[in-house]
Amino acid sequence: MSEPSQQDLAARLDDVLKEVRRQGRAAIAAQAAAESCLEAIQARPAAVSEANAQASDEAVRWLRALIPVADAVDRIAQRVAAPGARSAPAAPAKRSLLQRLLGDREAPEPDDGHARAALHEGVRLLQAQLEGALHDLGVAVDRRTGGPIDGERQRVVEVRAPGPHERAGTVVEVVRPGYVLGTKMVREAEVVIATGGER
């Protein structure tokens, strides 16, 4: 077998160099495509995170709009449930001249115990439905009592001596419940704690 001539070697070398250049361009294009894909993949969580943050901000705005409604329902429930609470007495009905002449007496006020119980049950159901809907949306309503103060989620608004069956240093009443959406504190619970010696 004869040895290749210098021209043959130069032609082969030229072909090899062309193939190397072609492969190099392909490798550069492949590397650029891979880097572009990597950037897109890395940007996706940031875009998703930003979308989640916007959705979370929107949810917090809705929750802040609903909290006063929930507070109003709580106040109504407390007033209706308060023992001895009565609505303002109705003005006495005016009697006709005939009733006064005949000596008819005013009928006693009807007992509103049934009406009050029905109202109390209705408000209690409304309160439970509202809290259930909030729970389904990922909102935690903080009404915890009986335990120590949670400095992250509760704010003390009053301190008082412990009553019967209450321990010093514990939350004994929730004045306004707290609201947490996921991990975001929307409003701290306002609580009363017992202090001093136990009774």
Using a 10 angstrom Cβ sphere, with 0-12 exposed, 13-18 middle and 19 or more buried, the burial of residue 194 is buried
| Domain boundaries along the sequence of the chain | 139-199
The 8-class DSSP code of residue 148 comes to B
DSSP character for 85? Answer: -
Higher pLDDT, 83 or 17: 17
Task: State the CATH class of domain 139-199.
Answer: mainly beta
- 199 pLDDT above the threshold of 50: no
Q: 48 falls in which pLDDT band (50, 70, 90)?
A: low
For the chain, what is the radius of gyration of the CA atoms? 38
